C-alpha cells in the first residue's frame, strides 16, 4: 500500500473554478488551516484539477507549484493529488500527504488513479441522488406552501385582507426587503398599487404605473414572470431602486383565464437573489391570488354576500379537508346547488380528446356517472377552451351546436364553466336544468368562482398523485422500485385466493451486467437497464407489473397467468433482449444483454 500519513477530499463547484475542502483524515488543525479553497490551477491540488492528471511531489519544500505557506510548513514533506473525474467533469480532487519523504512508482500512481476513479463515481452518484431527492422535496414544499396560502386567501372575500395576506406571505417566504401587489385598472389601462410592505414609501413614489413602465409594468405588458439584477436591467425607475439599496427584483402576473388582474413583486438587497425556483413560486402565488381577488370582486353585492361567503368557505373547507377527488367534488356540487339551482351536475376532466365524468349529482346522477364526450369536433367546448369563459345555452333543443345525448335529453338549459389551473385547461363543470332559460349571467359568474377553486384543488390533487407515483418508481428505468413492487405483490397475493385466478412471478437477472459498466461506462450500463424494461413491457399487459428488484434484477408479476404462460413471456423477453441493438459512445455495436438465469414461480394463494 501507499503508507501515507493523511489525506483530504476537495469538491469542485459547478463552474469548475474552485475546490473546497470537504473531508479529511489525520490532518492537524494547522495543516487544515492551509487548505483553504483552491482555484483550478493553484497549488498541487488545483493543478491536478486543471490538468486532469495525478501529480506527485516528493519534496513540497522545493516545488514552486506548492503554495508558499505549505512549503514553509515542516509537517508535510510529500504530496500526491489525483483529480476526481466523473462523466467528463472534475467533481473534486483527492490529496494525500506524508510527513517524511516518500517515493511513488508507476504502480503506486496507478493505484492512486484507480482509487480516485472510484471516489469520483461515488461522489457523482451521491450528488445525482441528492439532486433528485431535492427536486422532489422542493416540489412537495412548494405544494404544501401553495395549499396553505390558497386556503388562507380563499377563506375571505375582503379584498384588503386578501392583499395584505399575499404581501405578507411574499415578504416572509422569499425573505424580501420589499413586497407589493398592484391591481390592473382596465379603464386607466394602468397598475394601481393596492398593498405593500417594506421600508420604502412605495405608495407615495409610484402609486400608478402604465403598462411597460417599471418592473411591474413590464411583467403586466408581457404577461410573464421575470427576475433581474437592477444594475443590469433597463428599468424606468432603475436609479431609485439602486438609491434604496435594492439589487434584485422579481415579479409575476396575476391572471384569470388569461385576463390580467394585477402584478405582484418582491425586491432584495442581494444580487442574483431570484431565479427559476422563485419565479415558479411567484407564479403559483400569483395564480392563487388572482383567483381570490377576482372572486372578491365578483362577490361585492351585499344582499348576496352572506350566503355566498358561507358557501364558499364551506367549499374551501371541504376541498382542503378531503383527499379523495371524487367525494370532494361531489360535495362541492351539493354546495353549488345552494346558490345556482340545477337538476343535474357533472364535473368532467380532460383525458386526451375526451371529457370524462369524475363527479355527478342530481336526478340522473347514476346515468351520468360514466358520461364521456368526444370533444375533437365539439364546437361548444372548443369555444369555451378558446375564450376561457363560462357558456350559457338556455334553449338546448334549438341550439345548432348542441350535440343531443340520451342521458341529457330531458334538459332544456345548460351552464358550463371551464376548469383552469396555472394556465392549463383541465375540464369543465356542467349544470343542467329541465327549465328553459334557467341560468343567468350571475349564475355564470358564481359558477366560475367555484370552478376556479375546484381547478386549483384538482391540479394540486393530481400533483400529489404524480409525486406519490414518482416516489414509487425507479428514476432510471421507470419500473416500480423495490418497495412499491413488494407492496403490489402483497396486494396481488391477498387478492388471488381462488385457484382459478393464480398469478405468476418471473425473476429476471441480467448476465454479466457489471461488464457493461466496466467496459463501456455507466451511461451504457444505464441504457442496458432501460432497454431491459422496454423489452419486458413489450410482452406484458398494462395490468401486469414490472419492478426493479435490485441492481440488474427485475421482477415481473402476471395476474391471472399460470406457469406455462409465464414461461412463454420470459422466453419472449429474453429473445427480444438478445435481438436488441446497443451501440457504445463511438457508435460501435456491442453485445446485447442476456438473461440466462430466469426463474418463475406460481402463486395461487396469498403471498407471505
**Model pLDDT for residues 32-66, shown as the tens digit of each residue:** 888 878 999 999 999 999 999 999 998 988 888 88
Cβ contact 113:81 at 8 Å: no
CATH 3.90.1150.10 fits 482-603, yes or no: no
Q: Is the pLDDT of residue 306 over 80?
A: no
**Spatial distance between the Cα atoms of 348 and 112, rounded to a whole number of angstroms:** 63
**Spatial distance between the Cα atoms of 348 and 378, rounded to a whole number of angstroms:** 14
| Residue 433 confidence class, pLDDT cut points 50, 70, 90 | very high
Q: In what order do the strands lie in the sheet with 38-39?
A: 38-39, 18-25, 6-12, 89-98, 78-86, 55-57
Higher-pLDDT residue of 3 and 262 is 262
| Residue 293 confidence class, pLDDT cut points 50, 70, 90 | confident
Cβ contact 367:392 at 8 Å: no
Provide the pLDDT for residue 335.
83
pLDDT digit string (tens) for 52-61? 999 999 898 8
**Spatial distance between the Cα atoms of 297 and 123, rounded to a whole number of angstroms:** 54
What's the whole-number average pLDDT of the chain?
A: 84
Cβ contact 488:503 at 8 Å: no
Provide the pLDDT for residue 393.
95
Helix axes 106-153, 276-298, angle to 10 degrees: 10
Cell (9 digits) for 592 = 446485447
Provide the pLDDT for residue 151.
73
Provide the pLDDT for residue 606.
40
**CB crowding 306-332: b at 16 or more within 10 Å, else e:** eebeebbeebbebbbebeebeebbbbb
Q: Summarize the confidence of residues 300-313 as an average pLDDT.
A: 60
- Cα distances (Å, whole numbers) of residue 491 to 163, 495, 559, 606: 49, 6, 11, 9
Q: Which residues contact 346 (CB under 8 A, 6 or more apart)?
A: 357, 359, 360, 368, 371, 429, 430
Cβ contact 50:73 at 8 Å: no
Sheet strands (E) in 437-532: 503-509
Cβ contact 389:360 at 8 Å: no
Cell (9 digits) for 32 = 487544515
Same fold, 6-128 and 154-298: yes
Classify 429 as helix, strand or coil: strand
Q: Summarize the confidence of residues 539-550 as an average pLDDT.
A: 89
Higher-pLDDT residue of 142 and 255 is 255
**Spatial distance between the Cα atoms of 129 and 117, rounded to a whole number of angstroms:** 18
**Domain edges within the chain:** 6-128, 154-298, 302-463, 482-603
Provide the pLDDT for residue 500.
40
Q: Summarize the confidence of residues 379-401 as an average pLDDT.
A: 92
Cell (9 digits) for 45 = 491540488
Taken as a whole, the chain contains a residue count of: 608
Higher-pLDDT residue of 568 and 313 is 568
**Spatial distance between the Cα atoms of 515 and 495, rounded to a whole number of angstroms:** 40
Q: Hey, what CATH class is 154-298 in?
A: alpha beta
CATH 3.50.50.60 fits 6-128, yes or no: no
Q: Summarize the confidence of residues 494-514 as an average pLDDT.
A: 71
**Spatial distance between the Cα atoms of 576 and 579, rounded to a whole number of angstroms:** 5
For domain 302-463, give the fold. Answer: Beta-Lactamase (3.30.450)
Provide the pLDDT for residue 498.
43
- Cα distances (Å, whole numbers) of residue 529 to 61, 235, 475, 541, 586: 50, 52, 11, 20, 19
**Spatial distance between the Cα atoms of 576 and 574, rounded to a whole number of angstroms:** 5
Cβ contact 263:220 at 8 Å: yes
Provide the pLDDT for residue 496.
44
Closest Cα partner for 180 from 282, 302, 299? 282
**Spatial distance between the Cα atoms of 168 and 547, rounded to a whole number of angstroms:** 46
Q: Is the pLDDT of residue 318 over 80?
A: no
Amino acid at each position: 500500500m501507499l503508507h501515507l500519513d493523511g489525506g483530504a477530499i476537495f469538491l469542485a463547484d459547478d463552474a469548475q473554478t474552485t475546490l473546497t475542502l470537504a473531508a479529511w483524515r489525520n490532518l492537524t488543525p494547522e495543516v487544515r488551516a492551509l487548505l483553504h479553497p483552491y482555484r483550478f490551477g493553484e497549488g498541487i491540488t488545483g493543478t491536478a484539477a486543471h490538468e486532469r492528471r495525478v501529480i506527485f511531489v516528493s519534496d513540497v519544500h522545493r516545488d514552486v507549484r506548492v503554495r508558499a505557506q505549505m512549503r514553509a510548513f515542516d509537517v508535510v514533506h510529500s504530496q500526491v493529488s489525483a483529480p476526481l473525474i466523473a462523466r467528463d467533469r472534475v467533481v473534486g480532487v483527492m490529496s494525500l500527504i506524508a510527513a517524511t519523504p516518500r517515493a511513488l512508482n508507476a504502480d503506486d500512481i496507478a493505484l492512486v488513479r484507480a482509487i480516485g476513479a472510484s471516489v469520483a463515481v461515488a461522489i457523482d452518484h451521491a450528488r445525482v441522488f441528492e439532486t433528485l431527492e431535492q427536486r422532489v422535496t422542493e416540489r412537495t414544499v412548494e405544494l404544501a406552501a401553495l395549499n396553505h396560502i390558497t386556503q388562507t386567501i380563499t377563506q375571505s372575500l375582503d379584498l384588503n385582507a386578501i392583499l395584505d395576506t399575499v404581501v405578507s406571505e411574499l415578504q416572509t417566504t422569499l425573505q424580501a426587503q420589499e413586497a407589493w401587489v398592484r391591481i390592473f385598472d382596465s379603464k386607466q389601462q394602468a397598475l394601481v398599487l393596492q398593498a405593500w410592505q417594506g421600508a420604502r414609501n412605495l405608495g407615495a413614489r409610484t402609486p400608478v404605473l402604465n403598462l411597460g413602465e417599471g418592473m411591474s409594468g413590464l411583467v403586466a405588458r408581457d404577461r410573464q414572470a421575470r427576475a433581474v439584477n437592477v444594475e443590469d436591467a433597463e428599468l424606468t425607475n432603475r436609479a431609485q431602486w439602486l438609491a434604496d439599496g435594492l439589487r434584485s427584483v422579481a415579479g409575476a402576473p396575476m391572471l384569470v383565464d388569461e385576463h390580467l388582474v394585477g402584478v405582484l413583486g418582491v425586491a432584495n438587497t442581494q444580487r442574483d437573489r431570484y431565479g427559476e425556483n422563485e419565479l415558479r413560486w411567484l407564479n403559483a402565488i400569483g395564480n392563487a391570488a388572482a383567483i381570490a381577488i377576482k372572486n372578491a370582486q365578483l362577490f361585492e353585492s351585499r344582499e348576496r354576500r352572506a350566503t355566498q361567503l358561507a358557501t364558499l368557505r364551506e367549499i374551501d373547507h371541504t376541498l382542503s379537508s378531503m383527499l379523495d377527488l371524487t367525494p370532494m367534488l361531489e360535495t362541492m356540487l351539493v354546495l353549488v346547488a345552494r346558490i345556482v339551482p340545477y337538476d343535474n351536475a357533472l364535473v368532467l376532466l380532460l383525458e386526451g380528446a375526451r371529457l370524462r365524468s369524475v363527479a355527478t349529482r342530481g336526478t340522473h346522477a347514476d346515468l351520468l356517472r360514466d358520461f364521456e364526450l368526444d370533444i375533437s369536433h365539439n364546437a361548444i367546448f372548443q369555444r369555451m377552451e378558446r375564450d376561457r369563459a363560462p357558456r350559457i345555452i338556455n334553449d338546448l333543443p334549438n341550439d345548432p351546436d348542441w350535440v343531443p345525448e340520451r342521458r341529457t335529453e330531458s334538459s332544456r338549459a345548460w351552464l358550463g364553466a371551464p376548469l383552469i389551473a396555472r394556465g392549463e385547461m383541465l375540464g369543465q363543470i356542467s349544470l343542467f336544468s329541465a327549465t328553459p332559460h334557467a341560468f343567468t349571467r350571475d349564475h355564470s359568474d358564481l359558477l366560475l368562482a367555484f370552478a376556479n377553486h375546484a381547478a386549483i384543488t384538482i391540479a394540486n390533487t393530481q400533483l400529489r398523485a404524480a409525486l406519490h407515483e414518482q416516489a414509487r418508481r425507479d428514476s432510471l428505468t421507470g419500473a416500480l422500485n423495490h418497495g412499491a413492487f413488494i407492496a403490489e405483490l402483497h396486494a396481488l397475493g391477498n387478492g388471488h385466493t381462488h385457484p382459478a385466478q393464480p398469478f405468476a412471478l418471473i425473476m429476471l437477472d441480467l448476465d454479466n451486467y457489471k461488464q457493461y459498466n466496466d467496459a463501456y461506462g455507466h451511461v451504457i450500463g444505464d441504457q442496458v437497464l432501460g432497454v431491459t424494461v422496454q423489452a419486458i413491457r413489450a410482452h406484458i399487459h398494462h395490468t401486469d407489473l414490472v419492478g426493479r428488484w435490485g441492481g440488474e434484477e427485475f421482477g415481473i408479476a402476471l395476474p391471472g397467468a399460470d406457469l406455462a404462460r409465464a414461461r412463454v413471456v420470459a422466453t419472449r423477453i429474453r429473445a427480444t433482449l438478445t435481438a436488441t441493438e446497443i451501440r457504445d459512445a463511438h457508435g460501435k455495436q456491442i453485445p446485447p444483454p442476456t438473461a440466462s438465469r430466469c426463474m418463475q414461480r406460481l402463486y395461487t394463494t396469498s403471498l407471505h
